[in-house]
Amino acid sequence: MRFWRVNFRLTFPLINRLLRKTMAGRYYRQILAALVLVSVAVGSISCRAMASNEEFFGRIAPAPGNVLRYITGDEPESLDPQKTTGLPEARILMALYEGLVEYDPKTMDPIPALAERWDENNDSSEFTFHIRKNARWSNGDPINANDIVWSFRRSLAPETLARGASLGFYIKYAQGYNSGAVFVHDPQTDKFLLESGFAPASEVPPPLSERPVAPASEYKPTEKEKVPDADTPFHQFMHSPTRLTLPGDEKSRNKLLAQDPKLQAAVAGKEFVKIAGKDIGVEAVDDYIVRISLSQSAPFFKGLLANQFFRLVPKKAFEQYKELWAQPGHIMTCGPFRLKEWKPYNILTVERDPMYWDAASVHLDEIQFFPTADLPTALNLYKVGEVDALYNHAVLNAWVDFVRGKKDWMDAPEAVTIYININTTKPPMDDLRVRKAFDLAIDKETWIKWRKITKPLPGITPYGIFHGYPLPQGSKFDAEKARQLLAEAGYAVTKKGDGSYQCPKFPVNQVEYLFPTATSNKIMAEYMQAQWKQNLGITVPVRAMEFKTFVDARSKLDYKGFSFGAWSADYLDPFTFLSLYYTNENDNSTGWWDKKYVDMLNEANRTPDQAKRYELMSKAENYMLESQPIIPVETGAVNWLKKPYVKGMYPNAGSLFAWKFVYIERDSAKWDYSTPSTAD
């Protein structure tokens, strides 16, 4: 204080004299006035900053009109539901299109949408959907079962190039259709070759959907209405033993045949019939009943149907405009809202669709989606009150501490798991003991404490999402045991003079930790590196990679040692996480696959009793964890903001919102003064 005063007295006359000497001297008073103005401005900035509403983050002022302004993340790739796979698009598409079912705004369980109800057979391998009779497209055309069948066929057609097509592969023959595969037809007997003769014999019985039709006993008797006894030729076809499918492409087919002489002999003289859209297990039983037959038991399938991939697309617009059907001016939709305006990279506005079957209960007149991927920009827009809600993970790491005390910050677990992949195909990580040692040497509790908002992760299924699912025990941090395991594997850890550890025999040059460039990933990499250094005496090099380069390297197992891993649920069932290790196509980027694990999961999915099914799945998860293809790290947490006057929007596990339930509340007494509960 004193220093400032002395300086001020000394310098002010000096400035005074300097100013008088120059041309500016004439404007001395004006300059003085300007200085006063500037100090008033600065003063008011700091006063305002202090007086800002402490309860919430930034200004609370709903826009005039019944409008929601929402930042959805990246610019949408397309408005064609089957051409996108991302969450930013998913949220926009949820406003524009409906599927057979919709996500419950709180629990994300399937709720009726185009289908007003559904029946499920006893082993969840066949579903019958009853379509509501008042559903309409945005141009007023009615929607019936044939529209739905057409849309399913289109989504799985190979020429649609849908990147999310594997979501539909549970449907019988869908994978074959999508990959352009062929059936083998015998022209003499007019019969098709069956899979059972060539696939390795399995002890497990085929799902009900592949056994002879028996509707009376197949469906649960608890339904309100009796299941229509509509046995059609197509239904018989679905319920007949699975046909053999071979690759449609001649080169790969010949390669396959060359490996299997028995198959080659059986195929000789037969003709190949390309699997067509009409062969997949989706059938219009009558104008308002759609039956879907699966190739396996999948109780989670009905929940999957709310995914954007299964939302209904219009045959009429598609036939008229082909690939450009989803462009503004051509687009036809079936959701609670229709497209009003789309200015790319700026704004996408949807308005209430009067043709929607439930238009009367849609609250909002309009939703404005802003594609703003830059996080500070999104937060600024929220703070000044230009937007009403942000997409998940919009709050920067550095801001979390400040924002999480506010009443408009959403605090809830998320169906996202974060873990470390291990390349189990390359030494030294092909040794189970080494993998276990690296897992035990990480103090995950401290990490989660430091991260503040995330939750623990004992296995691959997230914590706090699936109620009633017995989560695995998870490993306890045990550095001593880790060192012991490493020693057993031939890499003795010794103590140095200063008390730190060293592991001279460990081939450090054969491991590294690879992660996609992002500050939070880097911090995680550094933490793991420090833990391994501290507890095992091994300094694993860490390396950042641009996102697409990273994904490419990881999926080709083109990394040594460790790579960052994260998975978000496609649907709310533990299977979405467990299925990462289900197929033998290295979707999991670890190189680990085990037939026994697949059998265990299949058994679980055939179990109608949910508690029993969860138990069996949990057993499979534990079995997988025994082999340690991954090191579980943490369960994600939602991290976004919503103004208190935005109601009907809940921090659900997938951050997907059924917009028709969202509304703007003008009465401040009814506002949300904390995270709204997602409990039902």
Partner 1 sequence: MLRFIIRRLLITIPTIFVVITLTWGLIRLAPGNFYSGEKKIPKSIEHNIREKYGLNKPWYVQYGRTMSHIVRLDFGTSLKYEGQSVNAIIVRSLPVSAGIGFLAYLLALSVGVFIGSVAALKQNSAWDYLSMALAMIGISIPNFVLGPLLVLGLSLNLYWFPPARWSGLISRGIVLPVLTLSAIYMAYIARLTRAGMLEVLRSDYIRTARSKGLSEKAVVIRHALRGGIMPVVSFTGPALALLLTGTVVVERIFALPGLGNYFIQASLNRDEPLILGIVAFISITLLLMNLLVDIAYAYLDPRIRY
Show Cβ contacts of residue 470 under 8 Å, excluding neighbours closer than 6 positions.
614, 615, 618
CB 412 within 8 A of CB 393: no
Q: What are phi and psi of 119, to 5 degrees?
A: -115, 150
Q: What is the DSSP string of 370-418?
A: E----HHHHHHHHHTTS-SB--TT-S-HHHHHHHTTSTTEE--EEEEEE
**145 vs 246 by CB, closer to partner 1:** 246
Q: How far apart are the first and last CA of the chain?
A: 59
Dist. CA 548–CA 614, nearest whole Å: 35
Give the nearest distance from C-beta 198 to partner 1 in angstroms: 20
CB 500 within 8 A of CB 649: no
Output the six-digit token pair for 59: 């200004």
Output the six-digit token pair for 388: 């009403």
**45 vs 258 by CB, closer to partner 1:** 45
Per DSSP, 305 falls in state T
Query: H-helix or E-strand containing 568?
Result: strand 561-568
Residues in the chain: 680
**28 vs 673 by CB, closer to partner 1:** 28
Give the nearest distance from C-beta 123 to partner 1 in angstroms: 26
Give the nearest distance from C-beta 152 to partner 1 in angstroms: 16
**37 vs 324 by CB, closer to partner 1:** 324
Q: Rounded to whole angstroms, what are the CA distances from 484 to 232, 433, 438, 489, 562?
A: 64, 9, 11, 9, 21
**178 vs 635 by CB, closer to partner 1:** 178
**501 vs 562 by CB, closer to partner 1:** 562
Give the nearest distance from C-beta 520 to partner 1 in angstroms: 15
**275 vs 362 by CB, closer to partner 1:** 275
**196 vs 555 by CB, closer to partner 1:** 555
Dist. CA 275–CA 3, nearest whole Å: 87
Amino acid at 485: L
Give the nearest distance from C-beta 18 to partner 1 in angstroms: 5
Dist. CA 394–CA 455, nearest whole Å: 18
**128 vs 417 by CB, closer to partner 1:** 417
Dist. CA 191–CA 315, nearest whole Å: 33
**At CA 396, angle to CA 393 and CA 399, rounded to 5?**
125
- Site residues (vs partner 1, CB under 8 A): 18-19, 21-24, 41, 44-45, 48-49, 58-59, 75, 77-78, 80, 83, 85-86, 158-159, 161-166, 169, 175, 178-180, 323-324, 326-327, 343-346, 370, 372, 374, 376-377, 380-381, 383-384, 386, 546-549, 551-553, 555, 566, 585, 587
CB 90 within 8 A of CB 308: yes
Dist. CA 355–CA 135, nearest whole Å: 8
**191 vs 343 by CB, closer to partner 1:** 343
Output the six-digit token pair for 286: 């009558």
Give the nearest distance from C-beta 414 to partner 1 in angstroms: 15
Give the nearest distance from C-beta 377 to partner 1 in angstroms: 5
